């Protein structure tokens, strides 16, 4: 799979979305859930958060591209966008240690 190229604007948007504790917890829960994803109800129960507050956080994560949603029957299934996550990590480590050995596996 080809990794999406990131630019500074996309990186700032993604990092801003993750720079809030509840959104970070939500994103991590979706990463753990893998490709099956989770419904908002399952996320709210898992993280013990009000569904109304969660919808705001899911909207911010979706706007950043880190999360996608898909209708399934009467529910929405949210999934972590692993391609976008990988692209962000690649952007952050693109020129790690200026090519010198630093002990980080990029």
105 domain residue, yes or no: no
40 domain residue, yes or no: yes
82 domain residue, yes or no: yes
Q: Is 7 helix (H, G, I), strand (E, B) or coil?
A: coil
100 domain residue, yes or no: no
CA distance linking residue 20 with residue 41, whole number of Å: 20
pLDDT tens digits along 29-50: 999 999 999 999 999 999 999 9
Report the percent of the chain where pLDDT is more than 70.
90
For the full predicted model, state whether its pTM sits above 0.75.
yes
Inter-residue contact 68 to 78 (CB < 8 Å): yes
1 domain residue, yes or no: no
27 domain residue, yes or no: yes
How many domains does one find in the chain? 1
What is the separation of C-alpha 56 from the centre of its chain, rounded to a whole number of angstroms?
14
Inter-residue contact 76 to 69 (CB < 8 Å): yes
106 pLDDT band, cuts 50/70/90, is: low
Sign (positive/negative) of CA torsion 33, 34, 36, 37?
Answer: positive
For residue 76, give the CATH number of its domain: 1.10.10.10
CA distance linking residue 64 with residue 13, whole number of Å: 6
């Amino acid at each position: 799979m080809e990794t999406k190229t990131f630019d500074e604007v996309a990186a700032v948007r993604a990092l801003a979305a993750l720079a809030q504790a509840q959104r970070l917890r939500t994103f991590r829960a979706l990463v753990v859930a893998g490709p099956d994803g989770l419904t908002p109800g399952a996320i709210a129960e898992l993280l013990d958060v009000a569904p109304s507050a969660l919808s705001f956080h899911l909207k911010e994560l979706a706007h950043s591209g880190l999360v996608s949603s898909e209708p399934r029957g009467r529910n929405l299934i949210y999934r972590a966008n692993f391609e976008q996550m990988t692209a962000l990590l690649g952007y952050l480590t693109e020129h790690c240690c200026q090519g010198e050995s630093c002990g980080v596996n990029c």
